[in-house]
A and B are shown apart, each in its own frame.
Chain A
Amino acid sequence: QTVVTQEPSLTVSPGGTVTLTCASSTGAVTSDNYPSWFQQKPGQAPRALIYSITNKHSWTPARFSGSLLGGKTALTLSGVQPEDEADYYCLVYYGGAQLSWVFGGGTKLTVL
């Protein structure tokens, strides 16, 4: 059973910078895993932010960026705004005999 691990919670001050990471139990996350990131606020459906490591959707604020970092995929928020307080999830693709995608457990980001 493949497990994707994220920090359960992080706290950042308004205007600060924070990096959320996503690790795979199968080894390093690479471009072959096409990692993506989603934001979810209470009572709302998830919203797509980043796909294929670094690519932003047209609605993704410039302060969000994606990368690979030490075998993990990462989401960095620079100049955090109060409205960025939310749950963040990564999604990782696994190829092979049976294709599948696995979400990380999510990171609850508090802006305080």
Chain B
Amino acid sequence: EVQLLESGGGLVQPGGSLRLSCAASGFTFNNYAMTWVRQAPGKGLEWVSAISASGASTYYADSVRGRFTIARDNSKNTVYLQMVSLRAEDTAVYYCAKDQWLLEYWGQGTLVTVSS
């Protein structure tokens, strides 16, 4: 059974930093790209970032490029999202999803709140 478990969310002040983690199980992690998607309260889905299976290629939405960094550790079956210079508009539930094309499995998400 595929499982994706996000962690690392919480309350952070504007300008602060946070690192999200997504622990994967139930599939051969190093064969698949991974994706982060977020959803602001009461709003729609926003694609944030993706990383290739090897980690060699990374992709970002314009809204986070230069502030967020996606990375993975295939020995730990985990993908990360390092977020710096956080803004109020980054407040959202952050989901990780398996693959960059199918997004066939999703975690339950972790809430990030940027507020003073």
Residue ranges of A at the interface with B (Cβ–Cβ < 8 Å): 1, 34, 36, 38, 40, 45-48, 51-52, 57, 87, 89, 91, 93, 98-106
Contact = CB atoms under 8 A, between A and B. Distances in A.
A106 B37 CA distance: 14
6 contacts: A45-B95, A45-B108, A46-B95, A48-B105, A100-B59, A105-B44
Contacts of B73: none
Contacts, number: 60
A1 B61 CA distance: 10
The 10 A-B residue pairs with the shortest CB-CB distance in the complex, in nearest-first order: A106-B44, A45-B106, A101-B47, A103-B45, A48-B104, A51-B102, A99-B59, A89-B45, A105-B44, A45-B108
A98 B45 contact: no
Majority secondary structure of chain A interface residues (helix, strand, loop or mixed): strand
B46 interface: yes
A102 B61 CA distance: 8
Given A45-B95, A45-B108, A45-B109, A36 B44 contact: no
Interface of B: 35, 37, 44-47, 50, 59-62, 95, 100-109
Majority secondary structure of chain B interface residues (helix, strand, loop or mixed): loop
A54 to B, nearest CB: 13
Nearest to B95: A45
Contact of A57 (B35, B104, B107, B108): B104
Contacts of B50: 101
Contact of B46 (A34, A99, A103): A103
